[in-house]
């Protein structure tokens, strides 16, 4: 269990280093063009996810996300005790990852974001983004488990652009990004609506895909 928690902590930290670090790099190189900065952020995050899931999947399942852990637990793939340990490791790892990005780019270590992402459409976007992420994982794990890392990376790459919120789809990522006043940041006042959307999307995905993939009993 200690190795699984360590995998979740380090994997989530590396994910946030990718997300925040590529956001800083993109913004610095884009010359004020947010579309170019977002494109760089998107490519790095999608590619990083594929690699990180391959790296840490054999150790912990590579959740890196409390929403994913909740879905796995509700589908009886992990115990409640293990799920709590995973979630704690994910939150700690996410914050460590943000701080790592700050150190790499000579940013102040401790920050609070001022980037507002307010309004109910942002919550709806997060619900849709998280619903799709959980659906991607559940369905590919059943049909083509070896493709799941690529599928997750591709889905997040797409969701960065088709959702109004740029698809955080992860409560630990959301909280950690509130501690970075950079391109990838989110103001603390905007966190609640994001997490509410993420939890709603997770529960709806568990219910819908559980029903969709349920095998009919023989008559």
Cα(74)–Cα(50) distance, integer angstroms = 24
- pLDDT at site 187: 98
- pLDDT at site 212: 95
What single DSSP character describes residue 76? T
* Residues ≥6 apart with Cβ < 8 Å to 76: none
Query: What proportions of the chain, in percent to the nearest 5, are helix, strand and coil?
Result: 75, 0, 25
Return per-residue pLDDT of the chain as tens, 219 residues. Answer: 899 999 999 999 999 999 999 999 999 999 999 999 999 999 999 999 999 999 999 999 999 999 999 999 999 999 999 999 999 999 999 999 999 999 999 999 999 999 999 999 999 999 999 999 999 999 999 999 999 999 999 999 999 999 999 999 999 999 999 999 999 999 999 999 999 999 999 999 999 999 999 875 555
**HSE toward the beta carbon, residue 96, CA cutoff 13 A:** 14
- pLDDT at site 214: 87
- Rounded to an integer, what is the distance from CA 27 to the centroid of its chain? 21
Q: Are 121 and 128 contacting, i.e. CB atoms less than 8 angstroms apart? A: no
- Rounded to an integer, what is the distance from CA 216 to the centroid of its chain? 33
Cα(71)–Cα(174) distance, integer angstroms = 18
- pLDDT at site 215: 72
| Cα end-to-end span (Å), the chain | 42
- pLDDT at site 72: 96
- pLDDT at site 166: 97
Residue 110: its H or E element: none
- pLDDT at site 218: 56
CB atoms inside a 10 Å sphere around CB 2: 7
CA distances from 73 to 15, 66, 80, 83, 106 (A): 22, 10, 7, 7, 39
What single DSSP character describes residue 179? T
- pLDDT at site 157: 98
Q: What is the pLDDT of residues 123-142, one digit of tens each?
A: 999 999 999 999 999 999 99
What single DSSP character describes residue 182? S
* Residues ≥6 apart with Cβ < 8 Å to 122: 164, 165, 190, 193, 194, 197
- pLDDT at site 95: 98
């Amino acid at each position: 269990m200690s190795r699984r928690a360590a995998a979740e902590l380090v994997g989530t930290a590396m994910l946030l280093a990718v997300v925040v670090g590529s956001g800083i790099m993109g913004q610095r190189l884009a010359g004020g063009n947010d579309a170019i900065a977002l494109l760089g952020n998107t490519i790095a995050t999608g590619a990083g996810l594929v690699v990180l899931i391959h790296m840490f999947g054999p150790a912990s399942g590579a959740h890196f996300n409390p929403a994913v852990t909740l879905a796995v637990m509700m589908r009886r793939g992990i115990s409640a005790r293990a799920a709590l340990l995973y979630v704690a490791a994910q939150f700690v790892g996410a914050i460590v990852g943000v701080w790592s990005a700050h150190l790499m780019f000579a940013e102040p270590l401790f920050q609070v974001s001022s980037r507002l992402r307010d309004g109910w459409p942002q919550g709806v976007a997060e619900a849709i983004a998280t619903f799709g992420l959980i659906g991607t994982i559940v369905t590919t794990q059943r049909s083509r488990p070896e493709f799941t890392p690529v599928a997750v990376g591709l889905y997040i790459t797409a969701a960065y652009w088709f959702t109004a919120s740029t698809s955080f789809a992860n409560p630990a990522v959301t909280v950690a990004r509130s501690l970075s006043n950079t391109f990838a940041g989110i103001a603390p006042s905007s966190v609640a609506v994001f997490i509410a959307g993420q939890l709603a999307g997770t529960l709806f995905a568990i219910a819908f895909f559980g029903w969709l993939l349920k095998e009919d009993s023989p008559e």
